[in-house]
Amino acid sequence: MTIKQGDALPEATFMTMTPDGPSPVSTDDVFAGRTVALFAVPGAFTPTCSAQHLPGFVKQAAELKAKGVDRIACTSVNDVFVMDAWGRDQGAGDQVMMLADGNGDFARAVGLDMDGSKFGMGLRSQRYAMLVKDGKVEKLWVEEPGDFQVSSAEHVLAEL
């Protein structure tokens, strides 16, 4: 079942890179008491994700925060080392929190996983964005396969 507006996020654990190495963070660690713009991509270093999706949120970070977003987070079914390298490559810095969903547990739990096997990618996340307030989904924008419109930073910013 796909998560919808008004639903609470399921409990899940992501991995993030810290100065001391990989570290687990729970959904509560990321979302409790905050307004978070979360976006998901099918894969780090993939064309649309690297050319438009993550760069858009990095570029629009100040504007999103000016409209009440406390944190911007990106998740993908990639390991923590790949997400860290991609974030550094894209200049995410402190603007976008990189959340590795290495086993796809979060993607499955929110019902937004997809089978990328025909592209040699296995289980992945669909492309989407959501606005989460204190752990509850306030707004959700899920892309049609192959599209990149409603989950863009520009679209999310326009909807705030």
Q: Which amino acid is at 26?
A: S
Q: Which amino acid is at 83?
A: M
Residue 74 is among the residues annotated as catalytic for this protein: no
* Of 67, 83, 65, residue with least CA distance to 18: 83
Scanning the structure block, which residue is given the tokens 């064309």? 47
Which of 36, 38, 49, 54 is the catalytic position? 49
> Annotated active-site positions, please?
49
